[in-house]
Amino acid sequence: MAKKLLLAGGGHAHMMVLASLRKFRDLGHLVTVIQPSPHHYYSGMGPGMLGQTYQPEEIRFATRQVVEKQGCAFILDKVARVEPAANRVILESGAAVAYDVVSFNIGSNVSGHIPVEKSETIFPVKPIERLQEAQQLILRLGAGKPLNVGIVGGGPSAVEIAGNIWGLAQKNGLQPVTITIFARTSIMKGFPDGVRSLAINSLNRRKIQIIEHCSVSKIEKDRIEIDSRQIYGLDVIFVAVGVRPSHVFRKSGMAIGPEGGLVVNRYLQSIDYPNVFGGGDCIYFQDSPLDKVGVYAVRENPVLLHNLMAALEGKEMREFDPGGEYLLIFNLGDGTGIFRKKRLLFNGRLAFFLKDSIDRRFMKKFQALER
Ligand SMILES: Cc1cc2nc3c(=O)[nH]c(=O)nc-3n(C[C@H](O)[C@H](O)[C@H](O)COP(=O)(O)OP(=O)(O)OC[C@H]3O[C@@H](n4cnc5c(N)ncnc54)[C@H](O)[C@@H]3O)c2cc1C
C-alpha cells in the first residue's frame, strides 16, 4: 500500500536516500522533502568557499532539482515542530504535513550563551551558505580600508575560518586585515598536543592573533565585549562557539539527549516513535554518543536508506555501526592542511590535497544526480 515518506532536511545523512527516491516512488510511495533552501551546502568545504578555493556551486547539492526530477515533492520551508502522536510535522509557515514514516536530518545550529546581536556584520558559521555573504562583505570593506576581523570560538571551525580569511585577503590584495581568534579555553582544546601546535604555528606564522582563555560576554555589530568590561572594535565577526542539535525535538516533547538531539537506537530510529528516524548532527545515538562531524552523517547513509525502505515495506531493519576512529583533515586556508588519523599526524600541502580530493569526490558523486 502506498505510504507517505517525509524527509525533513536534505543533509549529509540523507544523500543516499535522495539519490534513490525513484525506487521509493516506483514502489508506489509518496516522498516529500522539506528544506529551507533549494540547495544543501557541504560544510567541510565551507571555509574553502570563504577563502575562494571553491565557488559556491562547487560545494552545494541541488536538493530541490534532484527531488523533483525523480517525481517527488519538495517544500521550501522549515520544520518548526513535530506532532508525533498525530504523525505530522508543523512547518514555520504554519502548514501541517502528514507522514507514515519520517526521517530527520536537520543538522545543528551555532549555539552558546553569549548574546549575539542580529547584524549583517555578524556570521555564525552555520548555515554555511552565509559564508558567501561574509566573503563579499570582507572583499567590499577590505578594498578600501584596513580591517579588523574577529572569530569567537577556538575549535577547528574557528581555525579554518581564520586561515581562510587570511587566504582571501592574500588572493585579493586587500588592505591589511587583522584577524583575531577569541577562544574561551585553549585553542583546539581536546585535540592532541601535536595537532594543537601545528595549528598554532600555522596561525602564528601568518600573524593571526590568538587570545585564549577570554570569556566573550556580548557580540554586537561592530564590537565584542570580554569579561563584561573590555571592548574590541571589529568590522566583521564570525561566531564559531560550537553547535547544538536543532531545537525541533525539544519543542515537540520527544525523547532528547543532553544537547537536544533526537534519541535514536541502533536502527537510527526514535526510541519512542518507531516510524521516526534521524541522522547527522540532529540525533543523539543512544548506544555511544557521536561527535558532531560530517563523517558520521555520511556513514549513516546506507543504514537510513535501508531502514526507511524497511519501515515502509515491513521488512527487517539493519543496525548502524559508527565504525572506528575517523580521519580529520583541517583546511588552513593557505593551500596546506593538518591530517590526523589515529597516530598518523602531518601537515602541509599533501594534507590539503587529500582533503580536497576526498571532498570533491563526495560532491561530484552526488552532483551527478543533478544532470
Ligand atoms: C565551518 C565548519 C566546517 C566543518 N568541517 C567539517 C569537516 O571538514 N569534516 C567533518 O566531518 N565535519 C565538518 N564539520 C561538521 C559538519 O558540518 C557537521 O557534522 C555536518 O554538517 C552534519 O551534517 P548534517 O547533515 O547533520 O547537518 P547540516 O549539514 O547542517 O544539514 C542540515 C540540512 O537540514 C536543513 N535544515 C535545517 N533545519 C531544518 C528544518 N528545521 N527543517 C528542514 N530542514 C532543515 C538545512 O538547510 C541543511 O540542508 C564542519 C562544521 C562547520 C561549521
Confidence of residue 113 (pLDDT cuts 50, 70, 90): confident
For the chain, the structural domain boundaries read 4-36+77-109+243-326, 112-240
Query: Which residue lies with its CA nearest to atom 30 of ligand 1?
Result: 107
**Model confidence pLDDT, tens digit, residues 121-172:** 999 999 999 999 999 999 999 999 999 999 999 999 999 999 999 999 999 9
Which pLDDT score is estimated for 340? Answer: 96
Which pLDDT score is estimated for 229? Answer: 85
**Model confidence pLDDT, tens digit, residues 264-308:** 999 999 999 999 999 999 999 999 999 999 999 999 999 999 999
112-240 CATH choice from 3.40.50.920, 3.40.50.1970, 3.50.50.60, 3.40.47.10:
3.50.50.60
Which pLDDT score is estimated for 217? Answer: 92
**Model confidence pLDDT, tens digit, residues 78-96:** 999 999 999 999 999 999 9
Residue 126 Cβ < 6 Å to ligand 1: yes
Q: Is the pLDDT of residue 112 over 80?
A: no
Ligand 1 atom closest to Cα of residue 46? 1
Q: Could you tell me the distance, in angstroms and rounded to a whole number, from the CA of residue 143 to the centre of ligand 1?
A: 31
Instruction: List the helix and strand counts (H, then E) for the chain.
Output: 10, 25
Q: What class is the 4-36+77-109+243-326 domain? A: alpha beta
Q: pTM to 2 decimals?
A: 0.95
- CB proximity list for 18: less than 8 A, separation 6 or greater: 7, 10, 33, 63, 66, 67, 366, 369
Q: Is the pLDDT of residue 16 over 80?
A: yes
Q: Is the pLDDT of residue 117 over 80?
A: yes
Residue 337 Cβ < 6 Å to ligand 1: no
Ligand 1 atom closest to Cα of residue 331? 8
Ligand 1 atom closest to Cα of residue 279? 26
DSSP 93-126: TS-EEE-SEEEE---EEE--SS-B---TTEEES-
Which pLDDT score is estimated for 282? Answer: 97
Domains 4-36+77-109+243-326 and 112-240 share a fold: yes
Ligand 1 atom closest to Cα of residue 355? 8
Which pLDDT score is estimated for 269? Answer: 98
Which pLDDT score is estimated for 228? Answer: 75
Q: Could you tell me the distance, in angstroms and rounded to a whole number, from the CA of residue 6 to the centre of ligand 1?
A: 19
β-pair type (216-220, 328-331): unpaired
Residue 46 Cβ < 6 Å to ligand 1: yes
